[in-house]
Amino acid sequence: MYLARNAPIQEIQEVRSLYENGWEQGHIANKINRSRTYVRNLLTRNNIRLRPKGEARSLMKNHDYFASINSEEKAYWLGFISADGCIGDYDPYGIGQLKLVVTLNDKDFSHLFKLQKALNSSHTLTPVKTNLHELSIVSHQLCTDLINLGVTPRKSLTLQACRNLPSELYRHYYRGLVDGDGWLCRTTLHHYPDIGLCGSKDIVTSFNNWIVETLSITPVIVRELPEAMATFSIEYSGRKAIQIIRLLYKESSIYLDRKHNLAKEMMK
């Protein structure tokens, strides 16, 4: 009989990781080919708090949040994560999971709390560098659904715009993209309102086409940024910028506070 007190360090780490990410003791036992009693004893001997019966089994309840994009909030977070999120492998012990990471500057720290709330997550916000905080979520289903929506690993140069949303949700999707990878400001010389977006050619072109179709305005040229490989941008100023800002931010309920405050000032 294999005893928990003889467990190797790697197995203890694997069991801890699985349990803290919501796996049941029985499922862990099957995964590592041990008994349920062995798993329970290992958790207890290593001071890993056992969940009381009825307590939530995971740090996040909404693993299927992106299974269907059917609300303003979901469309927005899909756009924002497309811009500022990162999906990668989480496989330190052969678990075969996927991880979503969103890292923001301290000035936008409160936005991570909004994402936590949307996902019903209690994951810890972790300081990673000076002035940066990170929300890291291990969820195979959440990440797989995002991948199916175009948010693939190493997406910077290849990200494709989502093209199967209900028409009324596109303004929320693109607001998320602008909050993540765009800008709102006033021009230096004349202080005209200015709005733009940078990203992959498909993302920027899609945003440009949507603006033209929705507002019936003359398109601007999609420009490739010489200092960044395969990165493109568009920029609108003046009255066109105000039209776009109103389209994106007016009567919206989810947004990056810093950019929404600028939008309100420009819409006056």
pLDDT of 2 reads 63
pLDDT of 104 reads 96
Q: Cα separation of 102 and 128, whole Å?
A: 11
**Can you spell out the DSSP letters for 80-96?**
HHHHHEEEEEE-TTS--
Q: What tens-digit pLDDT sequence spans the chain (268 residues)?
A: 566 677 888 888 888 877 776 677 887 888 888 898 999 999 998 888 887 654 545 677 788 999 999 999 999 999 999 999 999 876 655 556 788 999 999 999 899 999 999 999 887 788 888 889 999 888 888 999 999 999 988 887 789 999 999 999 999 999 999 999 999 999 988 899 999 999 999 999 999 999 999 999 999 999 999 877 779 999 999 999 999 999 999 999 999 999 999 999 999 8
pLDDT of 119 reads 94
Q: Cα separation of 182 and 8, whole Å?
A: 49
CB half-sphere exposure, 73, CA atoms < 13 A: 10
- Amino acid at residue number 79: G
C-alpha to C-alpha distances, 6 to 38, 46, 210, nearest whole angstrom: 11, 12, 61
b (16+ CB within 10 A) / e for 189-222 = eeebbbbbbbbbeebbbbbbebbeeeeeeeebee
All domains of the chain, ordered by start, with CATH?
4-45 (1.10.10), 72-266 (3.10.28.10)
Distance of CA 152 to the CA centre of its chain: 12
Tell me the sheet residues that pair with 17. none
Structure tokens at 161: 């715009």
